[in-house]
Amino acid sequence: MKPGYSFSQLSLYYLTSITKSVTNFRMQAILCEIVSESYFLHCEFTYPVLSVSWSTLDERFLLPDMSNESFINHSVNEGSLLNLYLYTHHLLSQAENMDQQYFAVTTLIDCASRVVPLVGEEQKVLLLWFKIFDILIQLKNNGIRSSVLHSSIRPLPATMLKMSEDREASGLFGTLGFGKKSKYSIEFRLCTKVIAAYILHQMNKDGSLRVEGATRHNLTTDASKAMDNVRSLLGNKAYAAHTTQIQHCIGTILDTSCTFLHTREIIRYLVQHCYGDKPYLAVIYYHSPRTASVSRLSQGDSL
């Protein structure tokens, strides 16, 4: 028996019991998050298999009423990010048409815009963002208009930029540049700044998304500010260890051949660089995109 196997099986048993039997939704949300993370930690020895582990968890995720919002709202309130991913995965496994897929992704976008990640667990939100863009790209490939997708993701960049602040910008001291230092890690702030800037560079002023590599960037003011924010990291000593990756990401953001359809690739690049040791994020770098990758993104820098 492989090390950790019995513990992972025990986690699956607990997940089934919790989702079927626990009636206190807040406690259910807290316990499901703990059990899901425990499953991945104990599966660490079977690392390459983790690309399909979410499907294994989904089979044991047996909420009797998926339309009940109590579980999802408590997961948001408790910062239970793995729950939100698993809930979306479960909705998609039951989806029979694009309307149901769109409902699943808009629900996840709403949750990702409201949740406040726990300190030390902020990297879990990258899983939600990757899932959001994975679903949206599939919907676009299936014929949904880019203006509909543009409207659905509009709140995300602002949420990301808020999380990426090196210092709190709210309040009197925040507006003067003397806010409290961010509680989140430099790696997470780097990932979030880059992803926000990339997305804003794919959102045109006319309410459409850039999905054709031949089109030029039609930038908003927010996109320009986000790009300046990323460029400023090159002169920030706190980010000195990530200079090569920052330069690579700047080039990718400005590359007109990179479009909304390549959002997953830049998230994957950042996760591989910053969080290659987090087993529950393995689904990101084992994921095979359905759209052709661009040379800049597929080549990248060695990590």
Of 207, 271, 280, 276, the residue nearest 51 (C-alpha) = 280
pTM of the model: 0.87
Residue 149 lies in a domain: no
Provide DSSP, 105-125.
Answer: HHHHHHHHHH--PPTT-GGGH
Q: How far apart are CA 193 and CA 226, in angstroms?
A: 7
Residue 29 lies in a domain: no
Q: How far apart are CA 58 and CA 77, in angstroms?
A: 22
Of 78, 73, 99, 44, the residue nearest 87 (C-alpha) = 73
Q: Which single residue is written with the structure tokens 């990101």?
A: 284
Domain count, the chain: 1
Residue 191 lies in a domain: yes
Residue 111 lies in a domain: no
Domain with 247, as residue range(s), is 157-303
**How would you write the pLDDT of the chain (303 residues) with one tens digit per residue?**
444 456 677 788 888 889 888 889 999 999 999 999 888 877 655 544 444 478 888 888 888 777 778 999 999 999 999 999 999 998 998 899 999 999 999 999 999 999 999 999 999 999 999 999 999 999 999 999 989 999 999 999 999 999 999 986 655 444 555 668 999 999 999 999 999 999 999 999 888 899 988 777 788 999 999 999 999 999 999 999 999 999 999 999 999 999 999 999 999 999 999 998 888 898 887 765 444 333 344 444 433
Residue 122 lies in a domain: no
Residue 198 lies in a domain: yes
Beta-bridged to residue 209, according to DSSP, are: 203
Residue 18 lies in a domain: no
Q: How far apart are CA 187 and CA 81, in angstroms?
A: 18
Residue 228 lies in a domain: yes
Query: Residues with Cβ < 8 Å from 14, sequence gap 6 or more?
Result: 31, 35
